Amino acid sequence: MTLRTWAFTAATCFSLFAGCPGLASAQDVTDSFSELGGKVKLGSTVFVGDGEGHRVKGKLTTITASSVSLKVAGHEQTFSADRIRQITEQRRYTRRGATIGFLAGVGLVLLSEALSDDEACAGYSSGVCSSGFTEGMAVVTGGLFAGVGAGIGAGISHERLV
């Protein structure tokens, strides 16, 4: 195995582990409705909770200085600022799952190449064990794993306090 292959494998494995931080992250909580517009996008799925413990899930349609409007079951509902206790946004991990899946697929192929016996390719006349084949296989496997990772990430959701 060449030094280039070892370096590429090591860099890929490092990227795989370094690019997978924990799911926990610091949350910036907004104190006023004027700051809310920069924290959450219109059309996002949000949960509005009031002081009595009721929660309403809907798509965010408008934000003003004194109220928030949601589309709930096809109807628009407006909540005044004095009635709202908290707003949380639903988030999914689709992009992160795809990235992790791609890196895992590429890393798996490169690790397999690094651990394989180079002498096993001695009987082939051309193409089967070339570095171009390995790189192509890494991209294809990475793409397949990215699809699986995106599917898994889309199934994982959490609520972020805004």
pTM of the shown model: 0.56
Residue corresponding to tokens 């690790």? 111
Encode 2-31: b = buried (16+ Cβ within 10 Å), e = exposed: eeeeeebbeebbeebeeeeeeeeeeeeeee
Angle CA(7)–CA(101)–CA(108) in degrees, nearest 5?
A: 40
For the chain, the domains span: 3-21+93-161, 33-92
According to DSSP, the residues that pair with 90 across neighbouring strands are 159
- Which class would CATH give 33-92? mainly beta
Residue of 24, 68, 70 whose CA lies nearest to 43: 70
Per-residue pLDDT of the chain (162 residues; tens, 9 = 90+): 555 565 566 565 555 555 555 444 445 556 666 666 667 778 888 888 887 878 888 888 888 878 888 888 888 888 888 888 888 888 888 999 999 999 999 888 888 877 776 555 555 555 555 666 777 888 889 899 999 999 998 888 777 777
